[in-house]
Amino acid sequence: MLNRIVLIGRLTKEPDLRYTTSGIAVAKFTLAVDRRVSKDREKETDFIDIVVWQKLAETCANYLGKGRLVAVEGRLHVRSYEDNQGVRRKAAEVVADNVRFLDRAKEAGAAAGENQGYGSEIGFNEDDIPF
């Protein structure tokens, strides 16, 4: 069986970082993901809850913010709970094991789709290459 999800979208707000009673970091954020609903390119947006754990949770909380473009890989987790009125509810969320930052922090406020200078050359020392 396979339970794997890959999403690309923008954060709707800052990640919420908390710690369990045993000191394990957990962060939650919502990802806005566009999907095409018709051939003439009409789009709707889905808002998907993402959960990250441990070091990845702290990294996301420290470096991600509202509007940042990310790719998330993980698994779908559907959980049941009882609300305040005793009604049984279900919640679906993606438990991420990989989050890739697709833009730079200073570019997060820029409009999507603009050329943002991706692909710029980085320097390296040939002595650093192991082969």
DSSP characters over 87-116: -EEEEEEEEEEEEEE-S-GGGTTSPTTS--
Separation of alpha carbons 29 and 64, rounded Å: 10
Average pLDDT, the chain: 84
**Element holding 55 (H helix, E strand):** helix 54-63
| pLDDT exceeds cutoff 80 at 122 | no
| pLDDT exceeds cutoff 80 at 9 | yes
Of residues 86 and 116, the one with the higher pLDDT is 86
Give the chain's domain count. Answer: 1
131 lies in some domain? no
User: Distance of alpha carbon 33 from its chain centroid, rounded?
Assistant: 10
90: domain range?
A: 5-103
Domain CATH number, residue 74:
2.40.50.140
Instruction: Give yes or no for a contact between 27 and 54, defined as CB atoms under 8 angstroms apart.
Output: no
pLDDT band at 88 (very low <50, low <70, confident <90, very high): very high
130 lies in some domain? no
20 lies in some domain? yes
73 lies in some domain? yes
